Amino acid sequence: MPIAQLHTRWWTATAYKIGIEFAFALLLVYLAYQLDKRERQRRRIAIDLLRLNEELEGRVAERTGHLMTEMAERARADAALVRAKEAYQGLFEGAIEGLLIHRDFRPLLANESCARMFGFDSARDVLALPSVMALVAEEDRERVAGIVMSRMRGENPPAVFEFQGVRRDGTPIWCLNSGRRVEWDGAPAIQAAFMDITASKRTERGLQQAKDEAEQASRSKTRFLAAASHDLRQPVQALNLYINVLAQRRHAPEVHEIIERIQGSASALGDLLNALLDISKLEAGLVRPEPRSFRLAPLMERLWAEFAAEGEATGVSVSVVPSQAFVRSDPTLLERILQNLMSNAIRYAPGGKVLVGCRRRGGALLLQVRDTGVGIPPDQLDAIFEEFFQLGNVARDRRHGLGLGLAIVRRLAALLGHGILVRSEVGRGSLFQVELPLGEDQEEPEAVLPFSGNIDLDGKRVLVIDDDFDVRDGLRRQMEAWGCRVVASGSAQEALEALDQGPPDIVVADYRLRSGETGIDAVEAIAARFSIRLPAILLTGDTAPDRLRDARESGYRLLHKPVRPEDLRRALATGLPTVMPGGERGECE
């Protein structure tokens, strides 16, 4: 074979072999690639499976933890619920109050206290009742049922109410009930708590009865004091008048001495009667202040007119500094305070001076009564306001007073809410101060002045109206002794029938007359008959604040029984002067 052909064949075979081997190598490479690819896929899958397995295990562990936590929490909640139920059961069973749960009035649960309260042997007996309304007295069932139904509807009935209950044996009891709507076994129900208040209701009835009896006693005391004030003052007034009439007649010296002693005793009796009645009224709470704004000047003018002559008789110079200020107080009670302070000052300043004035301080007015008397030791400044306490009168000499004036001052000031201040120096005098709130300026009704100026009583025609014969007769005799022409009558009708010679110069009338008539009514009836304005003086033995207020608001001069004859004569002769002779003038500071 030629070399070239051999080479050709060899190259062909070699090329074929190499091609086969190359193809096989490619196949092996491909197979190896596929195997590697599958291995990588398998690894990725394995990794993914591992990761998924880890995630699944984490989730399982997390869920397991949650379940364990939930189970633990549920176990704790169940334990707490059991404890709460046991605690509620313990509280329910051990409660002092009667507890009852019911739905549609059928009892569901009751405690032993409820059973005992209503007279049952056990709570089971209560649960056996067909309706809880069997525990309610028949007269209260409709009201109680309405409240329960309103509560079931979610409305707002009384949270607590009382009702009359009935025990198993029919004994009535009083119960205090409080209730609320609750959920019981998945449905609404009413939980009610009961308290037996039968004993407290008996106590309440006893207290109400005691209150009624106390009010009745207070009314009786009021009537007694009113009757005592009027009925006791009347004979004392007549006694004073008769004694004074008797004293003006000629008698032997020893008889005059006896009459003077009788006058002193009668005067002391009248003063004691006034003071005791005032103290009794204050202690009984029968004095009701009626504060209002009023001008102080008229009150101070009346005080000067009342005490100037009394001071002159004992050598005491009485001066009043008038004020146009308005204050807020009860004018009647304030005048009583100042009367007692001025009377006390005159008594303890013989031969000295008494000055009444006022000072402004902020929103208050300081009304002051100064005297140049004996003074008060520092350790007795509080004791002087006690009943029957008197400085330098251990022997209880009636001529030095009774020791009740300042006690009345203290009570009246406390009643009105006015502060009282006392300053004193032994041997140099004392200062009593009343602190008054300033009032509002306002127009005051024009007063009906009884009369003004000095009047000679000789021949003056005086009409006396008093339904008490002794007082009327005493007034007539006393005024006739002063030279007056007196017409005496027991009522306005009698006076009108007796006045056939024209109107009187002045009327002296008792405030309280028969059949509900007043002295004011009588004066106005007579004034209307003659179409004139009559000067008048009202006498009263009454202490009722409303009557005293009416008398003062009339504008007529008011004198309290038993009035001393000299005070009555001074009132007839001088009246209420519009200018205070001898008194200081001008506004206070």
Residue 393 lies in a domain: yes
CATH number, domain of 341, equals 3.30.565.10
Domain count, the chain: 4
Pair (248, 339) in one structural domain: no
Residue 140 lies in a domain: yes
Pair (397, 377) in one structural domain: yes
Burial of 541 (0-12, 13-18, 19+ CB in 10 A): buried
Strands 485-489 and 326-329: unpaired
Angle value at C-alpha 365, between 361 and 366, nearest 5 degrees: 90
pLDDT at 275 (0 to 100): 63
Residue 506 lies in a domain: no
Q: Are 447 and 453 in contact (CB under 8 A)?
A: no
Residue 157 lies in a domain: yes
**pLDDT tens digits, residue range 525-553?**
998 888 888 888 988 877 665 666 677 77
Structure tokens at 395: 């022997």
CATH number, domain of 131, equals 3.30.450.20
**pLDDT tens digits, residue range 330-385?**
888 888 888 888 888 888 888 889 999 988 888 889 999 999 988 888 887 777 87
| Structural domain boundaries, residue 235 | 214-280
**pLDDT tens digits, residue range 153-203?**
888 888 889 999 999 999 999 999 888 888 888 889 998 988 888 988 888
Residue type at position 85: K
Pair (128, 185) in one structural domain: yes
CB atoms within 10 A of CB 258: 12
Pair (169, 273) in one structural domain: no
Strands 160-166 and 187-196: unpaired
**pLDDT tens digits, residue range 399-438?**
445 567 788 888 888 888 998 898 988 888 899 999 999 8
Integer CA distances (angstroms), 189 to 102, 109, 165, 306, 397, in order: 6, 11, 21, 80, 83
**Chosen domain end from 423, 444, 465:** 444
Residue 395 lies in a domain: yes
Residue 566 lies in a domain: no
**Chosen domain end from 444, 464, 499:** 444
Pair (151, 230) in one structural domain: no
pLDDT class of 219 with cuts at 50, 70, 90: low
pLDDT class of 482 with cuts at 50, 70, 90: confident
pLDDT at 587 (0 to 100): 35
Query: Distance between CA 113 and CA 119 in Å, rounded?
Result: 10
Residue 563 lies in a domain: no
pLDDT class of 450 with cuts at 50, 70, 90: very low
pLDDT at 94 (0 to 100): 59
Query: Distance between CA 548 and CA 538 in Å, rounded?
Result: 11
Pair (430, 295) in one structural domain: yes
**pLDDT tens digits, residue range 75-89?**
787 777 666 655 555
The beta strands (E) that lie in 448-502 are given as 461-465, 485-489
Mean pLDDT of 462-470: 90
Query: Distance between CA 229 and CA 543 in Å, rounded?
Result: 7
Q: What percent of the chain clears pLDDT 70, i.e. is strictly above it?
A: 81
pLDDT surpasses 80 at 265: no
pLDDT at 392 (0 to 100): 52
**Under 8 Å CB-to-CB from 337, ≥6 apart: which residues?**
408, 409, 412, 413, 418, 434
SS (H, E, C) 214-272: HHHHHHHHHHHHHHHHHHHHHHHHHHHHHHHHHHCCCCCHHHHHHHHHHHHHHHHHHHH
Buried b (16+ CB within 10 A) or exposed e, 154-163: eeeeeeeeeb
pLDDT surpasses 60 at 109: yes
pLDDT surpasses 90 at 131: yes
pLDDT surpasses 50 at 455: no
Query: Distance between CA 52 and CA 147 in Å, rounded?
Result: 66
Q: What is the mean pLDDT of the chain?
A: 79
Residue 357 lies in a domain: yes
**pLDDT tens digits, residue range 303-330?**
887 788 778 878 888 888 888 888 999 8
Pair (84, 146) in one structural domain: no
Q: Are 466 and 510 in contact (CB under 8 A)?
A: yes
